[in-house]
Amino acid sequence: MDYNWNWAIFGELSPDGVNTYWQMLLSGLGWTLATSLAGWAMALLLGTLVGVARTLPQRWLRLVAGGYVELFRNVPLLVQMFLWFFVVPELLPRAAGDWLKALPQAPFVTAVVCLGFFTSARVAVQVAAGIDALAGGQAQAALALGLTRGQAYRHVLLPLAVRIVLPPLTSEFLNIIKNSSVALTIGLVELTASARAIQEFSFQVFEAYTAATVLYVLVNLVVTAGMHAVERRLALPGTLGKY
């Protein structure tokens, strides 16, 4: 391959005249983290609610939750990003649409909402699977003790289910960090977009993407380590799980 390597490029000033390329990369990393963490918080909350709804005795609730999952799980993320950014504001009343488009961080807000809904569908399936994996007797025993259904979920079913689905939830957490790069298609300058901008301004493609790759791997290693610590912390001797 005929290519001029230049690792010193990161110290150079970018065309905006203020930041070096290295600072551009770090700012991108910041947006990646902010987007993924906010999206993850939303996904956990919505995903747990929808996942619980999928296991309730009320048939209509299960149907609604199932529809939610199919809707957000089956449309490609790239398409959802486009729909939320370009189509939804046009469907809203004129004033609301204009307000949305004029938000100072419209791409960020859109990316968080889109990733939050997309990932929540996947979290919901995992939470529901975790609850279903518990022996049916757990719920009945909790109810027989005089707990209401809400208390049974809060004190018995969810705490046990969460321990079972922690490993797939870790994968989902890693996924949302990587998926946040799709937000570059709506103009959010996150890590991948920063690497691309460096490439476009300096033409040092491989250096820029190498740096981005290393940063993604580092972040994901930290998340993996953190989630392992959580797993160990929550482990109950004698139940499912490694610890």
Partner 1 sequence: MASIRLFVFLTLALVAGAIHAQQPPGTLAKIGRDGYITLGVREGSVPFSYLDDKGRFIGYSVDLCMKIVDEVKKRLNKPVEVRMTPVSASNRIPLMANGTIDLECGSTTNNADRAGQVAFSPTIFVIANRLLTRKTANIRSLADMKGKTLVATAGTTTLKQMTALNRERNLGMRIVIGKDHPESFLMLETNRAAAEANDDILLAAQVAGSKQPADYVIGSEALSLEPYGIMLRRGDPAFKEVVDAAIRAAFASPDFPRLYAKWFTSPIPPKGINLNVPMSPQLQKVVANPTDSPDPAAYR
Using CB under 8 A, which of the segments 13-21, 37-45, 127-135, 230-238 binds partner 1? Answer: 13-21
Q: What is the 3-state secondary structure (H, E, C) of the chain?
A: CCCCCCHHHHHCECCCCCCEHHHHHHHHHHHHHHHHHHHHHHHHHHHHHHHHHCCCCCHHHHHHHHHHHHHHHHCCHHHHHHHHHHHHHHHCCHHHHHHHHHCCCHHHHHHHHHHHHHHHHHHHHHHHHHHHHCCHHHHHHHHHCCCCHHHHHHHHHHHHHHHHHHHHHHHHHHHHHHHHHHHHHHCCCCHHHHHHHHHHHHCCHHHHHHHHHHHHHHHHHHHHHHHHHHHHHHCCCCCCCCC
Q: Is residue 70 within the footprint of partner 1 (CB under 8 A)?
A: no
Residues 6+ apart with CB under 8 A from 159: none
* Closer residue to partner 1 in complex, CB, 86/243: 86
Q: What is the smallest separation between the CB atom of 171 and partner 1, expressed in angstroms?
A: 16
Pattern 105-124, partner 1, x by CB under 8 A: -xx-----------------
Q: What is the smallest separation between the CB atom of 86 and partner 1, expressed in angstroms?
A: 6
Q: Is residue 223 within the footprint of partner 1 (CB under 8 A)?
A: no
Q: Which position among 7, 8, 16, 218 is part of the footprint of partner 1 (CB under 8 A)?
A: 16
Q: Which of residues 75-104 bind partner 1 (CB under 8 A)?
A: 86, 89-90, 98, 101
Q: Which position among 142, 189, 211, 212 is part of the footprint of partner 1 (CB under 8 A)?
A: 189
Q: Which of residues 23-52 bind partner 1 (CB under 8 A)?
A: none
Residues 6+ apart with CB under 8 A from 230: 166
* Closer residue to partner 1 in complex, CB, 141/217: 217
Q: Which position among 18, 91, 95, 135 is part of the footprint of partner 1 (CB under 8 A)?
A: 18
Q: Is residue 54 within the footprint of partner 1 (CB under 8 A)?
A: no
Give me the residues that bind partner 1 (CB under 8 A), please.
1-5, 14-18, 86, 89-90, 98, 101, 106-107, 184-185, 187, 189, 193, 196-197, 199-201, 203, 205-206, 210, 217, 221
